[in-house]
Amino acid sequence: MTDLPEHDVPDEVDRDGWTLAVRGLVREPRAFDAEDLGSLPTETFAEDFDCEAGWTAEGLSWRGVRVGDLLEPVEPAPESQYALVHAMDGEYACSFPLERLADAVLALELDGEPLPTVHGGPARLVPTGDGDCWESVKWVDVIELTAERPDDTAREIALGRVE
Ligand SMILES: Nc1nc2c(c(=O)[nH]1)N[C@H]1C(S)=C(S)[C@@H](COP(=O)(O)O)O[C@H]1N2
Ligand SMILES: [Mo]
């Protein structure tokens, strides 16, 4: 059992027909479905998760696909430097320098089980190294590559919930 707290799943989150689109400044935009992702090599790593609101979940074990392995087949254009990671819950999106995103894992499993919807399934971004809780984007559906750092909403939405 994970000690990650369960938050409400917004109505817009719908796993039926879900794909992860990788598009923007790329030569070969692609949509990966669950089967495509399941056929890629996976990595497993354990870490604690700290939220800015003051809680910690210890010893989470994530398993998924390195985002760099999804970027390679879409052939990013040389001028792409950043990416916006969008989620299914409306306006929620978080920007990353492309190099940092390539190192992150798109988690499909948590603690040896398929990632539950309540924790971001089918796919949740888990950046490696130090980061902010809002960068762990649940319900990822689009990764959009850009030249300039895109405006995002995740920090503001997350901090707006902290009293
Ligand atoms: N799509 C999406 N991802 C999100 C959020 C969100 O509101 N929407 N909240 C973030 C914040 S602030 C935290 S602390 C974690 C909470 O993860 P949990 O719901 O699995 O405990 O999800 C992060 N990822
Ligand atoms: Mo958070």
Give the pLDDT mean for 94-121.
98
For residue 62 and ligand 1, the question of a CB distance below 6 A is answered with no
Q: How large a percentage of the chain has pLDDT more than 70? A: 99
Is the model's pLDDT at 41 over the cut of 70? Answer: yes
For residue 137 and ligand 1, the question of a CB distance below 6 A is answered with yes
What is the per-residue pLDDT for 100? 97
Q: Which of 47, 92, 138, 157 to mutate to test the pocket of ligand 1 (most atoms within 8 A of CB)?
A: 138
**Residue 85, token pair as written in the block:** 């990671």
For residue 93 and ligand 1, the question of a CB distance below 6 A is answered with no
What is the per-residue pLDDT for 65? 98
What is the per-residue pLDDT for 2? 78
What is the per-residue pLDDT for 1? 61
Residue for token pair 């979940």: 57
- pLDDT tier at 3 (50, 70, 90 boundaries)? confident
Cα of 77 from ligand 2 centre, angstroms: 33
Which atom of ligand 1 approaches the CA of 158 most closely? 12
66: phi then psi, degrees, rounded to nearest 5: -65, 130
What is the per-residue pLDDT for 124? 98
130: phi then psi, degrees, rounded to nearest 5: -70, 140
Is the model's pLDDT at 60 over the cut of 70? Answer: yes
For residue 9 and ligand 1, the question of a CB distance below 6 A is answered with no
Give the pLDDT mean for 86-113.
97
Give the pLDDT mean for 114-128.
97
Q: Which of 2, 60, 91, 136 to mutate to test the pocket of ligand 1 (most atoms within 8 A of CB)?
A: 136
Neighbours of ion ligand 2 (CB under 5 A): 51-52, 133, 158
Would you say 150 and 143 are in contact if contact means Cβ atoms under 8 Å apart?
A: no
At 46, which helix (H) or strand (E)?
Answer: strand 43-50
Is the model's pLDDT at 13 over the cut of 90? Answer: yes
